[in-house]
């Protein structure tokens, strides 16, 4: 059983910063891609940023330039540094990982961490 646990969400004022972290645990052979998605009521879950095992990154246009995704392959963790936060960044942020276990590939989701941007 592979699990993802997010942390770092909370209340922040507009223009502030937040760092989200996600740790994968379980019987993991390797992780191909790790990423962050977000979802707000009435809206589809959308990609915020992703990073491959070799460090290739991808960002949504809405966060490009003010967010940085990084990972530690040895620790099976991924982080998202978010700066200059806007009210529209308010959402539940979910960690995602494409995990290779000893026998097959799995796509695993964390339960999410809430980010609220408000004055």
Location of structure tokens 């909370």: 10
Q: In sequence order, what are the beta bridge partners of 36? A: 49, 95
Question: pLDDT, tens digit, for every residue of 17-70?
Answer: 999 999 999 999 899 999 999 999 999 999 999 999 999 999 999 999 999 999
- Write out the E strands in the chain: 3-7, 10-12, 18-25, 30-39, 46-52, 57-59, 67-72, 77-82, 91-100, 105-109, 113-117
């Amino acid at each position: 059983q592979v699990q993802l646990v997010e942390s770092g969400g909370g209340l922040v004022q507009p223009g502030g910063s937040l760092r989200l972290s996600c740790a994968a645990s379980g019987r993991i052979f390797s992780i191909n891609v790790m990423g962050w998605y977000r979802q707000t009521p009435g809206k589809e879950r959308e990609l915020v940023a992703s990073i491959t095992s070799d460090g290739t990154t991808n960002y949504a246009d809405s966060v490009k330039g003010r967010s940085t995704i990084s990972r530690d392959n040895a620790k099976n963790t991924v982080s998202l540094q978010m700066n200059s936060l806007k009210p529209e960044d308010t959402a539940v942020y979910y960690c995602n990982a494409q995990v290779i276990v000893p026998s097959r590939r799995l796509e695993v989701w964390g339960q999410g961490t809430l980010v609220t941007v408000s004055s």
